[in-house]
Amino acid sequence: MGVVNVTPDSFSDGGVHLDPDVAIAAARRMFEDGAAIVDIGGESTRPGSDGVSLDEELRRVLPVLERLQGDVPVSIDTAKAEVARRALELGAELVNDVTAFRSEPALAEVCAAHDAYVCLMHMQGEPRTMQLDPRYDDVASEVTAFLEERMMFAIARGVREDRICLDPGIGFGKTVEHNVELLRRLDVLLALGRPILIGVSRKSSLGRLAGDPEATTGPLGASVAAAVAAYERGATILRVHDVREHVDALAVARALA
Ligand code: HH2
């Protein structure tokens, strides 16, 4: 899964894809480079962010979705039912909601009505404050219990189970140690029986593990290493900014598996 953030403030590509022409070209390039799907987002969820209005989010993503329609398989990264509805009408195949239908529960019915694929992600707290003091007794089992509950919620609202993938939410209300623990113990999540999506690309935990305690992003080599490790532990969808490098690395990892 390639990532194109049509935002001024995303943590690693903020401002880069704000111009629709640039965003569309980036999405097409990611698809040509081997992404199975490209995740388009109009709202940053980086630590400390406040969110954007419905009008602003639509203004950012609609021109991009309109011109990618029929060309590139698209996922919409949104927590807003109306954004998802418009994106699905424009051919989006997957709704990626980092709030797992907690922000707008009606988003579940929108996904069900379109028979859309859905990614449900774990987050402790909300983006504005989530990195202040994240705490867990046992991060892997707490994240798994949360995702199981959200999956049951989605199914109760009409989403087919075989449409759902699950994501532990690397960096969303988690310390470096929590992120490492989740990636090491993916088997606990896999026991839920659904495909696992991992978004660790360029995240600050990687920069910190690579030796910079003040890092706000992670280097490419660290992103690729984490993606391969997640793949080897059973993750099947890797959400990444640098598609070509990850496709090459995963092809080799698959050949050696
Ligand atoms: N991470 C980000 C955004 N959306 N969705 C899923 N399912 N999993 C993730 O790990 C995930 C996500 C944050 O990364 P990015 O989109 O690059 O930055 P920002 O939120 O600042 O736009």
Probe residue for ligand 1, chosen from 44, 120, 128, 204 as the CB with the greatest number of ligand atoms within 8 Å: 44
Range 48-55 average pLDDT: 92
Structure-token match 């980086």, residue found = 46
> Which residue out of 86, 174, 203, 208 is catalytically annotated?
203
Ligand 1, atom 1, residue with closest C-alpha? 199
* Catalytic site includes residue 203: yes
Q: Position 2: which residue type?
A: G
Query: How far is the C-alpha of 27 from the C-alpha of 139, rounded, in Å?
Result: 34
Cα 109 to Cα 40, 102, 121, 231, 243: the distances in Å are: 21, 13, 17, 31, 32
Probe residue for ligand 1, chosen from 6, 7, 60, 121 as the CB with the greatest number of ligand atoms within 8 Å: 121
For all residues of the chain together, what is the average pLDDT?
97
Range 212-239 average pLDDT: 97
Q: For residue 242, list its beta bridge partners.
A: none
Identify the pLDDT of residue 47.
Answer: 87
Compute CA 163 distance to the chain's CA centroid, rounded to the nearest angstrom: 16
* Catalytic site includes residue 174: no
Cα 204 to Cα 2, 47, 101, 131, 185: the distances in Å are: 18, 11, 26, 12, 20
Cα 251 to Cα 101, 204, 232: the distances in Å are: 33, 25, 12
Q: Supply 91's token pair.
A: 């051919």
Q: Residue 117 — φ and ψ, nearest 5°?
A: -70, 150
Q: Is 2 helix (H, G, I), strand (E, B) or coil?
A: strand
Q: What is the pLDDT of residues 70-97, one digit of tens each?
A: 999 999 999 999 999 999 999 999 999 9
- Measuring from each residue's beta carbon to the nearest atom of ligand 1, which residues come in under 6 Å? 3, 5, 7, 10-12, 41, 44-46, 77, 96, 98, 119, 121, 167, 169-170, 197, 199, 239
Atom of ligand 1 nearest to the CA of 121: 7
Identify the pLDDT of residue 247.
Answer: 98
Share of the chain above pLDDT 90, in %: 93
Residues 42/60, Cβ–Cβ less than 8 Å: yes
> Which residue out of 60, 86, 150, 239 is catalytically annotated?
239
Range 202-222 average pLDDT: 97
Atom of ligand 1 nearest to the CA of 170: 10
Q: What is the pLDDT of residues 126-178, one digit of tens each?
A: 998 889 899 999 999 999 999 999 999 999 999 999 999 999 999 999 999 99
Query: How far is the C-alpha of 3 from the C-alpha of 241, rounded, in Å?
Result: 5
Q: What is the pLDDT of residues 8-25, one digit of tens each?
A: 999 888 899 999 999 999
Provide the 8-state DSSP code for 8: S
CA 223 to centroid of ligand 1, rounded, Å: 14
CA 199 to centroid of ligand 1, rounded, Å: 7
Compute CA 32 distance to the chain's CA centroid, rounded to the nearest angstrom: 20
Share of the chain above pLDDT 70, in %: 100
50 falls in which pLDDT band (50, 70, 90)?
confident
